[in-house]
Amino acid sequence: MIDYSDIAALIPHSGRMVLLDRIIDFDGHTLSAELIVRDDGLFGDKHSVPAWVGIEYMAQAIAAYAGIQSKLAGEPIKLGFLLGTRRYISNIANFAVGTILTIQVKNIIQDDKLGVFDCKIYGADIEISANLNVYQPPIETKLATTP
């Protein structure tokens, strides 16, 4: 059984860079997560965070999805990279601090390195959507050498 409550154990982030608060749901193709917009000044100020930070929220949800997949396969958490998005549609300019957001990611296309995810963020009067392209390089194995 995988512990979904420890987000830092599922993604390659630590400290204040762990932006998700909890995993709500997970299956083989989707993940839903939740967070409360923080006022720690990491991306915004004491009143709001720019809506473009939603891309990072989505990327961390994808990382959590990949982390759970790795844990289920008995593999270590792997580093991944956000390549970009073809579109980011937001009905707001900023997230108010204290707002509860639900992030949903759905795996559309996946091979051994590249993936495309349909992503959405919901909250009170908030609707954001994007398709994120991600890359996960293979884990390099160090070969033992003899002197």
Phi, psi (5° rounding) for residue 9? -80, -10
Per residue of the chain (147 residues), give pLDDT as tens. Answer: 677 889 999 998 888 899 999 999 999 899 999 999 999 878 988 999 999 999 999 999 999 999 999 999 999 998 999 999 989 999 999 999 999 999 999 999 988 889 999 999 999 999 999 999 999 888 764 445 555
> In the chain, where do the E strands start and end?
22-26, 30-36, 48-50, 81-90, 94-96, 100-110, 114-123, 126-135
Give the closest residue to 135 by CA, choosing from 56, 62, 77: 62
In a domain, 146, yes or no: no
Q: Residue 87: which domain range? A: 7-135
What's the pTM? 0.91
In a domain, 147, yes or no: no
- How many domains does one find in the chain? 1
In a domain, 142, yes or no: no
**What is the predicted pLDDT for the residue at 141?**
47
Q: What CATH number is given to the structural domain containing 13? A: 3.10.129.10
In a domain, 144, yes or no: no
In a domain, 117, yes or no: yes
In a domain, 143, yes or no: no
In a domain, 124, yes or no: yes
